[in-house]
Amino acid sequence: MRLGIGLALTVLVLAAAARRAWQLYRLISSGQPAHDRTDQLGARLRTQLVEVFGQRKLLKWSVPGLAHLFTFWAFVLLLSVYLEAYGALFDEALFDQHYAIPLIGHWPAIGFLQDFIALAVLISLGVFAVIRVRQAPGRRQRDSRFYGSHTGPAWFILFMIFNVVWTLFFFRGVASARGNLPYHSGAFASIGVGKLFAHVNPSALALLEGIGLFLHIGVMLAFLIIVLYSKHLH
């Protein structure tokens, strides 16, 4: 049942996402072609690595730049957590043991990196919130760096990122309490959360794990649609 519900939700959301992606593709294709797009390909790739993956320009802002760096890399690295989450959907149906990413799925270093970047994002969200409150247009008027921008959608995006993080730790914590987390060490925060559920009875834990799994996947699917229809697609 868990597998069927999870796959049905995923298919519905991916269909909506594909429709939006096709609309955006047609919009982009309506412009004049750029025949020099592949010129100096090596330099272009190097720039992408430095500016996008290295977040060089944003790091010039020091603390907020570092917060942006952690947030960007969280979107990259936490894909592994969602791979594990979808693996958990298939556990009961296809696997004789609890799913782990092939080859690296039990490495403590991977669990540590997942938890570290998630906690770093949580701290970064606090940094972003403080900056937005202190720089609020209502408080600083034209001196605000956010003057003239739509602050509501930005707060909503921060809220959705927060939902990704707390559902991650909730699901992984309960999974750890049940002995289903792929990492017996390394994932320090998830294991720590799991200890909070140490005295919960097994049937309740099983229910909570399912709820946590659906919440975590559901937030991601909702976030996908939100991003595709918002200015944050950039």
Q: Dump pLDDT digits (tens) for 136-172.
A: 776 666 656 665 677 778 889 999 999 999 999 999 9
Better-scored residue on pLDDT, 108 or 155? 108
Inform me whether the pLDDT recorded for 182 exceeds 80.
Answer: yes
Inform me whether the pLDDT recorded for 112 exceeds 90.
Answer: yes
Q: Dump pLDDT digits (tens) for 39-56.
A: 677 777 777 776 666 666
Q: What is residue 58's predicted lDDT score, i.e. its pLDDT?
A: 64
Question: In which band, very low, low, confident or very high, does the pLDDT at 196 lie, cut at 50, 70 and 90?
Answer: very high
Q: What is residue 222's predicted lDDT score, i.e. its pLDDT?
A: 95
Inform me whether the pLDDT recorded for 79 exceeds 80.
Answer: yes
Q: What is residue 43's predicted lDDT score, i.e. its pLDDT?
A: 72
Closest C-alpha to 54, from 65, 64, 41, 39: 65
What percent of the chain is predicted at pLDDT more than 90? 51
Closest C-alpha to 211, from 74, 78, 88: 88
Inform me whether the pLDDT recorded for 93 exceeds 70.
Answer: no
Name the average pLDDT for the chain. Answer: 85
Record the tokens describing residue 18, joined without a space.
Answer: 């594909």
Inform me whether the pLDDT recorded for 37 exceeds 90.
Answer: no
Better-scored residue on pLDDT, 77 or 153? 77
Q: What is residue 42's predicted lDDT score, i.e. its pLDDT?
A: 73
pTM value > 0.75: yes
